[in-house]
Structure 1
Amino acid sequence: PDQAVLRDGVTVTGAVLLAAIVLTAGFDHDHPATMQATTDISWIPALDVRIHLGVDGISLPLLLLTALLTFLCALYSYFKPPAGPSAKAFVALVLVLESGTLATFAVLDLVLFFLAFEMVLIPMYFLIARWGGGRRQAAAWKFILYTLLGSVVMLLGILLIGLKTGTFDMVALATDNGRGLTTSVQVIAVLAIGLGLAVKTPMWPLHSWLPDAHTAAPTVGSVLLAGVLLKMGTYGFVRILLPIAPDGMRTFAPYLAAFAVVGIVYGSLACLALARTGAKGDLKRLIAYSSVGHMGFVLLGIATMTPTGVNGALFANIAPCLTTGLLSSPSPAS
C-alpha cells in the first residue's frame, strides 16, 4: 500500500511538472515583463480580494524549479520510502507544500500571497517533526515560531497597504509604483513586510532557525527547504516591496545591504569552520550556513535597487537551487 501511495505522489508531481513545462513552452519570452496565463476572479468583494493569478519572467523560473524539485523528491521517496509513521501523510504533506509554494509564485493579490506564504509552514513543520532526524522536535518548533512571528508582522504591513490604497491587487499597486502611498506609510509597510520576508529568506541575524531545521529535516524536507522555500522571501522583496513601496525601500536599502554583507561573511566563516580538517562537520549544516551567505548576495543585489543588481539577484536566486538540493541528499559525510 505504501508503494502505491508513493507512486501516486510521483504521478501527481509528474503531471504538475508537465504542466509547468507546457506553461514555459507557451510563454512569450520576448515580453517577459507582461503578465501571462492570467486568471482574475472576484473572491471576497467586500474587501476587493480577488483570485488573481499570472506569471511573468520573475515567477516562471521559480514555478518550473518548484515543480522539478518536488517531482525529484517524490521520485526519491518512491525508490527510498521514508522511515516514518505514514506514507499517505508524507505524500499529502509534500503535495500541500508544493501547492503552497506554486501559489506563492503565481498569485497577484496580497491577501492570497499571504495565505499561500503561510500554507507551506504547517507541512514543513510536520515533515521535520515526524520524519526528521535528531533534535527534530526542537528544530520544528524553532522553525514554526520564527516564521509565524515574522508572518504576523508581515500581515500588518499588507493590511496597511490595502487600507491606504483601497486594493490588494499587486499588478495595480505595482503600476501605481507607490504614488498612492505617502513616504511614511511606505517606510512602515517595508519595515513590517520586510521583516516577515527576511525571516523566511533568512537574513542575518534572523537566520538561526535554518541550520537546525535543515539538519533535522528528512532529505525531502532539506531539498525543498534549501531549493525552494528560501526563495520565497527574496521573491517577495522583488514582487511586492520594490514596485509597491519604492520610497520605503530606498530608506531601508543601506541597512538591508549592511545586513546582507554581514550574512555573507558570517555564513562563509561558519562554512569554513565546519569544513576544516578534524571539525567533523555535518554536510547538511554546512549547506544551511552556505545558504545564509548565498541569500546575503541575493539581498545585496536587491538592495542596489538598480536593474543590473535586481537581475543579478534574480539569477542568483535560481542558479544554485539544483546543486543545493542535490547536496542535501544523504551522503557519508552527512
Structure 2
Amino acid sequence: MSTWLLTGGAGYIGAHVLRALRAAGHDGVVLDDLSTGLAERLPDDAELLRHDLLDPDLGKVLADLTRRRDVAGVVHLAAKKSVPESVALPLTYYEHNVGGTVAMLRAATAAGIGRFVYSSSAAVYGETSAEPVAEEHPTLPTSPYGETKLAGEWAVRRHAEAEGLSWTALRYFNVAGAASATLADRGATNLLPLVMRAVDTGTPVKVFGDDWPTPDGTCLRDYVHVDDLAEAHVAAAAALEEGRSPGALNVGRNEGTSVLEVIRAVEDARGRPVPHEIVGRRPGDPARVVADASRIATVLGWRASRGLAEMCAARS
C-alpha cells in the first residue's frame, strides 16, 4: 500500500480523491489550510497537516512527513479557482496558484518525493472553436485563473525535466456530483450546486448570457462526475508508480451540456422548477469547451462512466 500526499485534500475534489485512493488500497495524508476545505469531509483516521503552501516551514513539514511515512508522491489540488475572482484579483491568483505550486515542487523534491500529479483545468484552453478539444490544441486562457493553471503546468513540466520527476497534469473539465452529502461541493461558483441551491431557496440562479454562439445561446461545458475524476487520479498515481510520465491529459466525457440543459436536468431530478434569470455575460468565460478525452483512455485506461442524471442527484 502506497501513501500519497494530497494538497487541498479537504476540498470538494480532494476528499473524493482520498476516498478513491483508499478504495484502491492506497493511503493518503492531507495537507490543507482549511481556508475553503472542511475537516469533516475527511475520515476520522486520516492524517491532516494544517498548513498553507506559502508557509516558510513547508519544507520542514514535508521532510518530517517523509521521515515518518513512505510517501509515494504528491497529488497537488490546492488552488484558488474562481474565474471572476481571478479577474478582480489577478495577483492573488498568481501568488497562490503559481507560487504555491512552485513552493510544493521545491519542498517535495527536497524531501525526496519524485512523483507529482498536478490538478490543472480546461481553462488553459480559453476560447476555442474546436470541439472536442484535444491536448495539443493551443492553450490561450482568457482569465487569470486559466493563466495560473497553465503556468503551473509549465513549472511542473520544466522542474520534472530538470529533476527527473514522474508527472502528469489532469486538465479537469466541469466537475459535478458527489458521493455523499458530506462530500458535496459547497462552493459559491460552480453551476450545479448553485442550481441545486436555487431549487431549495427559491432564489434565482444567474445564467450569464443567452446570446453565446451555442445551440440555445448559453455556455456549453463538458461535465464530469467527481467520482469519475477521482478515479482518474488513482489511474494517474498508478502510472507514475510504474515509472511513466503521461504529461497533460484531459478529464471529461466528450459531451457538451449547456447551462439551460443542466437546469432542465436538475428539474427532472428534483421534480421542481429551477428559478433562474438571464444576466449579462461574465468576464473571462469562453462560449464552449468540450473535451476530447481519448488520450487518457489510451494512456491510463480511464473513461468516465457516470452521466448527467447521476451528477444531478439530490445529494449533490
Question: Normalising by structure 2, what TM-score?
Answer: 0.29
More strand per residue: 2
Taking CA–CA contacts closer than 8 Å with sequence separation of 6 or more, which of the two structures ends up with the larger relative contact order?
Answer: 2
Question: Normalising by structure 1, what TM-score?
Answer: 0.28
More helix per residue: 1
